[in-house]
Amino acid sequence: MTFNPKIILGTLLIAILFFACIKEQKPAGIILSPTITFTDSIYTASQIPSAQARVVLVEEATGVHCVNCPAGAAMLRGIKAAYPNRILSAAVYSPFLNYFVAPSKYDFNTQDALDLVTFLGNVDPSKPSAAINRTPAPNNQNNTGNSYFYDRNDWNTSIANFLNTPTPVNLEVSAEFINNAYKLNAKTTFTENVSSDLAISLFVIEDGIIDIQDSTGVEIEDYEHEHVLRKILTPISGLNILETTPIKTKGTVLERTFYFEMPSKVLNKSNAKVLCFIHKVGSDKEVLQVAEIDLP
């Protein structure tokens, strides 16, 4: 019997690839990706806590070359000051009015920002505008029929309305730095029954970035860009929670513990924070509760 060297070599290569694929398989029961892993603990509370006051999530569409965006940011700061600790936000620098050009030092564009505005409204929205608790805007910005971005004239009234709406979930978040990675625990306690499908999302945001910003009639050289979206750690649509439980009953507690590394886009780790929020999935994307924590 004669042996063809090419056949032998090809067989060896196939075997090597086969065993390499086996090595790369991940254990069941945990989500692994280049950026994040997690584990779950589910139990029933011995005593159901009082419901938290609702905190509102604002995803602010903004851009370096949007001349009206500094006024929009100032308006949002004013609304936050009127309702301390009740409003959390991410500044979403999607491509529209946000192209990078010298003498700017930093490129705020990210694929995550573009994916997010597309997920919420099909197209990059007019600026400044903002998604508020991921509910359809009363005055559609993009004429798409399902835009989630509110005109800034609607921000104050819409946010105030949400603040008066009770939430059926409490959300508590803690974080620590262990073995060169971040460990974040998100504890969700149901204070009422919930029948909607739910997910959890994590954003890394960064404060205190000094760079150029266009404004009405002037270029601001030392503008402080706050709450800048740097990375969405979870999928754009979130990571499902309790997906085999059609009705999440009052008293159910889910503790999801995440592990991740600091995203490379972050310039100053001491200014980095995580926004964590529980929201519905599907055609109804409403955010039920949101919390923010500084990364240690």
Domain segments of the chain as ranges: 36-294
pLDDT at residue 136 greater than cutoff 60: yes
Locate 2 and state its tokens: 């004669």
Q: What is the pLDDT of residue 123?
A: 83
pLDDT at 147: 83
Phi, psi of 105 (to 5 degrees): -90, -30
d(CA 293, CA 88): 11
Q: Which CATH architecture has domain 36-294?
A: Sandwich (2.60)
pLDDT in tens, 190-240: 999 999 999 999 999 999 999 999 999 899 999 999 999 999 999 999 999
141 pLDDT band, cuts 50/70/90, is: low
Percent of the chain with pLDDT over 90: 82
Check: CB of residue 257 under 8 Å from CB of residue 138: no
Token digits of residue 249: 């009953």
In the prediction, which pLDDT does 34 show?
55
Is residue 31 over pLDDT 80? no
Per-residue confidence (pLDDT) for residue 138, from 0 to 100: 82
Question: Tens digits of per-residue pLDDT, 239-265?
Answer: 999 999 999 999 999 999 999 999 999
- Token pair in block for residue 126: 């007019």
Strands 129-132, 87-92: pairing kind: unpaired
**What pTM was estimated for this model as a whole?**
0.87
272, two tokens: 């980095």
- Supply the pLDDT for residue 28: 36
